[in-house]
Structure formats: structure tokens, C-alpha cells
Chains A and B, each alone.
Chain A
Amino acid sequence: MSTAAHRRFDLRGLVLPLVLLALAEAAMRISHTESDTLARPSDVARALWEALRDGTVLVASAQTLGAALGGLALGGGLGLLAGLWFGLSTRAERWSLLSVELLRPVPSVALIPIAMLVYGFGFRMEIAVVAFTCFWPMMLLTQAALRQVEPRLFEVARVLGLGITERVSKIVLPAAAPRVFVAFRLGVGIALVVAVTVEIAANPQGLGFGLMSAQQNLRPDLMFALLLWVGALGWALSAGLLLIERHLFRHTRAQGGNP
């Protein structure tokens, strides 16, 4: 892992996109493009600025993020508990295996009609679909994290005479925490994708719906502006979580590098 490259933002990476944007801008100005599907980069920037100024994009972002994080909290939280349970008890894992294998492959988007039927439009149906999607990776990755706890640590715990609750709270959970956090970070990304998808497909709120209405109102500039905004939002979330992860588990990582 090239941690140095991650930590330091390399400005050279900006050259290519900026050159491409400048070329697109120049080409469209020279050819006088008037299109329902394309927009000049300068128009996109103006549309984004206006959407930010009148607050519509901020309200939509709050709706999307609210639903995404609400769904993640619900589904990810339950997934975490289920993962801990199945990870600690082989019996629970055996009994649940078939159900997990049957339910997990259901595409989350396929649940939109059912969620709509049950909850109608609004936050609740979006949260339900996001929660269902986030449940599985969180559960499976938590289970895997528990399996990967260094076996030597269990021996240490036994020789020291730690009880079962102390073994879980002082050895298993802290040892699994870094991997569980990675699962959470992945979950945030998944939650955002699914929330926007639900909004595009059905739910009349948030950034996904904004994208759809911009397209239907023949506003490619606003559409691209929102696309840019969603991308930036996702990038900022994942970068922020990565920073938190680095800070929380810096000692665990250092030890991982040792033979």
C-alpha cells in the first residue's frame, strides 16, 4: 500500500481533467454546440454555483445523505450485531447459513416496489432499501473480521485466565475493530449509491430525483452539475473516513507491518 501517495495530494493528477475540460469548453465554443444532452463546462460550473446559492442542492444533499446514513445505521447496525453473533457462535452460523445464502443475492433495487408498497414515497422506503443492502456486507465482513483474530491472542487470553465476557470485550472486539471499520467505510459508499439509485428509480426527493428532473427539464448543465456534486460528496465522505481510520488504528497498522 502506497500510504505516502494516499496522504499527499498529488497536484499532477489535476492536469489531465483540467486539460480535457478546457478542450471541451474550447471545442463547444468553436462549434457553437446547442445541445439537450451536453453542456459547456462553464455552464455546468454556473449551474452548480446557482444550485448551491439557492440552496436546492444542499437540501437535496441533506435528504440523500440522511436516507443513506439512516439506512446504514439501521442495516449496518443490525448487520454488525448479526455478524458478531454468527462470528462468535459456530452453531448460530450453521443455523443461519442457508437463509443468508438465499436472501443475500436478492438485488436491493428489486426491493423498491415492495418498499414503495409498504411505506409509500419518502424517507422510510429509501431507508428500508438502503438498510437491506448494507446489512449483508456488514454482517459478512464482521463475521470474517472475527475469524481473522490472531489465534495466539486466544491462547494468551486462556493462559491469563480471562473469562468469556472479558475475552470478547478485551481481545476479540478490539482485535476485529479495524476490519469492522473498513466494512463500515465500504458500507457508507454502498449506502450513498443505493440511496441515489432509489431516488432516480422511484423516490421523489434528494440528489437522484434532482438528476432525473434536470434531465426531464432538458437542463444538461444542471444534470452534469449534480453529477459532479454527487461524485465530490462520495469522494469527501470516503476520504474523511479513511483519515479517521488511519487515526484510530494507527498502532494496529504499525504492528501489522511486523513479521
Chain B
Amino acid sequence: MVAQPRANLTVVQPVNVQPVTAAPLIVFDRVVLDFGPLRIINELSFTMKRGEFVCVIGPSGCGKTTLLRLLTGLVKPTGGEVRHNGSPVNGPAHDVAIVFQDYAKALLPWRTVAGNVSLALEAAKVPKAERADRIHALLAKVGLAAHAHKYPGQLSGGMQQRLQIARCLAQEPAVLLMDEPFGALDAMTRQTLQDEMLQLVAGSGTTVLFITHDLEEAIYLGDTVLALRAGPGERSSLAQRFDVHLPRPRDQLSTREEPEFLHLRRLAFEHVKDTR
């Protein structure tokens, strides 16, 4: 059921600060979640290695977003356990950051671009004297250095999402959770942000759990793609797992033309068609 890697494709690991170690960073251990009488997630087990980029796809209502909330501790599992660094997740951890899809609602409209990044530093109790330099460095990373004194309302959607990403990076997260972060953006902006984000996380060795409904986006970005099913009933929520052996750094044109990419794309589309 797992897509076998083609022999002729070399697997290039992302350039990580921390090496990808064998001990998993995140463990979902037979996680069950009920909302009232409704079973959203059933018997979901998977692990994430340090520095791994995992994408989650699945029909709406399959608990994709709930998966993220389980990891932030905003939601507690009904059964099973979510472990982060070996210990169960109980509440928000400072090294777990989340990028929401609705950037307009997640930013503070009364604070400037710099002020929004500052919020994360204030929460982390970074001394005031250090903040300005760090804010500048973070904004430079996401290409917003020239807009530090603007307000979110004066930025385009893509820039607002960049700002939210900068605020998350300010937490210096070991794990970055992204909930359909580019879903509301136009195709060109989405591709640009995909590549920028890949560069950022590859440079810092961040582990990423990326939720999307766009199959191609999932294959393009991920080391692993997990397909969830809606209304799992007695079966496991994890319908299928695809390992992506595409070389990095990835390229919007050549990567998407790789036989491996097209093969995975076919598998994923067939999977979605079958489960519909």
C-alpha cells in the first residue's frame, strides 16, 4: 500500500542543523477523538522524525485541523496519547508554533508588522533590548523588513501570511504546525510562499506538520504524506501513507515533472477517488 521508491532516484535529505535522528520527535499512539457521539479520529498512529516534513491530506471533516489542535494541546484526545519529545502533550508548548489559515484574524490589527512579531518575543520573555534586532532579522527572513512600520491591514494577503510565519519563527519552534496556510492565496503567491517556507524550515531543521487539501502541494512539500479518512468508524483514521522520495531543494517546474511526482500524484488522486 505504500508507494515504493524508484531505485534510480537518490534520496536527498534536507540540509538540517540537527541531524535526523532515529528517535521520533512526535508520536501519535492509537489516538482516538470523539466530539460528543461522533468519532472524528480513530486509532491514529504515526511518528515524525526530527526535521521531517509531514503533510496531511483528506476530505473535509476528517479531522485534519483537529490533528493540529491535538499537538498544541488545545484539544485532548479521548483515547491514546500524543507524545512530544517522549512526554505526553498537556498544553501549549513554547517550541510548538501554529500558522493559521485565516491570517487576517490571527494578526493583531492594532499592532504594526514589527509589533506583531514582538508579541511572540514578549510572550517568550525576551528582554526589550534584544527585541528590535531579532524582529528585524525575522522580518528580513520573510522579506518584510521594508514594511516593519505598516499595519496588517495595509498588507496583501501573501504578506500577512508571511508576517504570521515570521511571528511563529520568533518562537524558535522545534515543531511548526501549518493549517492550510496558503489555501486562501492566489496560485502565484502560493508557489512563492511554498518555496520560501521550504527554505526557511530546511535552514532551521524545523519539523513540520502541514495540513492541506491540495494533493500536489502535499507531494511537492512533504517527505511523507498521510491521507486521512472521514467518518473512520471501526477503521483507523490513517487511510494511506505515501513516502515522497523527491530530491531537495525542490523546484516548482522540474520537481513537478519528475516521474516520481507524477506517480505519487496519480496514487494520491486515485486514493481520493476511491474513498469518496
Q: Please report A residues at the B interface, Cβ cutoff 8 Å.
A: 150, 152-153, 155-162, 166, 170-171, 174-175, 177, 249, 251-259
Q: How many A-B residue pairs have CB under 8 A?
A: 76
Q: Does B97 contact A (CB under 8 A)?
A: yes
Which 4 A-B pairs have CB atoms at the shortest separation, nearest pair first? A254-B153, A255-B109, A255-B153, A251-B151
**Shortest distance from the beta carbon of A132 to any chain B beta carbon, whole Å:** 32
Once bound together, how far apart are the Cα atoms of A174 and B115, in whole Å?
A: 13
Collect the chain B residues with CB atoms within 8 Å of residue A156's CB: 100, 106
Find out whether the CB atom of A170 lies under 8 angstroms from the CB atom of B119: yes
A237 to chain B, nearest CB (A): 25
B110 at the binding interface (Cβ < 8 Å): yes
Residues of B99-114 at the interface with A, using a CB-CB cut-off of 8 Å, are 100, 102, 104-111
Check A152/B102 contact, CB under 8 A, given A158-B74, A166-B122: yes
Shortest distance between the CB of A257 and any CB in chain B (Å) = 7
- B124 close to chain A: CB less than 8 A: yes
User: Are A170 and B122 touching (Cβ within 8 A)?
Assistant: yes
- Give 8 new A-B contacts, CB below 8 A, not counting A152-B100, A159-B74: A150-B105, A159-B72, A159-B92, A160-B124, A160-B171, A251-B152, A252-B109, A254-B151
Give every chain B residue within 8 A of A255 (Cβ-Cβ). Answer: 104, 107, 109, 151-153
Taking CB atoms and an 8 Å cut-off, the chain B residues in 108-147 that contact chain A are 108-111, 119-120, 122-124
* Residues of B in contact with A, size category: 20 to 34
Minimum CB distance partner of B125 in chain A: A161
CB-based contact B153/A153 at 8 Å: no
Q: Are A160 and B74 in contact (CB under 8 A)?
A: no
A259 touches B104 (CB 8 A): yes
Q: Which of B100, B109, B120, B124 has the most CB of A within 10 A?
A: B109
Question: Contacts A158-B92, A159-B72, A159-B92 known; A251 to B171 CB distance under 8 Å?
Answer: no
Q: Which of B74, B94, B105, B122 has the most CB of A within 10 A?
A: B105
| A155 vs B99: C-alpha distance when bound (angstroms) | 11
Name B97's closest neighbour in chain A (CB-CB). Answer: A159
Report B-chain residues with C-beta under 8 Å of the C-beta of A252.
Answer: 109-110, 153
Prevailing SS type, chain A contact patch: helix
Q: Cβ of B96 < 8 Å from any Cβ of A?
A: yes
- A175 and B122 CA atoms in complex are apart in Å by 18
Q: Would you call B104 and A161 a contact (CB within 8 A)? A: no
Measuring CB to CB, which residues of chain B are less than 8 angstroms from any residue of chain A?
72, 74, 92-94, 96-98, 100, 102, 104-111, 119-120, 122-124, 151-154, 171
In the assembled complex, the Cα of A256 lies from the Cα of B207 at a distance in Å of 34
How near does chain B come to A55, taking the closest CB pair, in angstroms? 43
Could you list 24 examples of A-B contacts with CB < 8 Å?
Answer: A150-B105, A152-B102, A152-B105, A155-B98, A156-B106, A158-B74, A159-B74, A159-B98, A160-B123, A162-B119, A174-B111, A251-B151, A251-B152, A251-B154, A252-B110, A253-B153, A254-B109, A254-B151, A255-B104, A255-B107, A255-B152, A255-B153, A256-B109, A258-B153
How far apart sit A150 and B106, CA to CA, in the bound complex (Å)?
8
A249 vs B111: C-alpha distance when bound (angstroms): 11
Chain B residue numbers with a CB within 8 Å of A254 are 109, 151, 153-154
Which residues in B have their C-beta under 8 angstroms from that of A161? Answer: 92-94, 123-124
Q: Closest Cβ of chain A: how far from B209's Cβ, in Å?
A: 14
Contacts of B92 in A (CB 8 A): 158-161
Which chain A residues border B93 with CB–CB below 8 Å?
161
CA of A175 to CA of B106, assembled, Å: 12
- Contact residues in A for B154 (Cβ distance below 8 Å): 251, 254
Which among A155, A159, A255 has the greatest number of chain B C-beta atoms within 10 A? A159
Chain A residues near B74 (CB, 8 Å)?
Answer: 155, 158-159
A193, B15: Cα distance in complex, Å: 70
A256 to B109, CA, bound (A): 8
- CB of B124 within 8 A of CB of A153, answer no
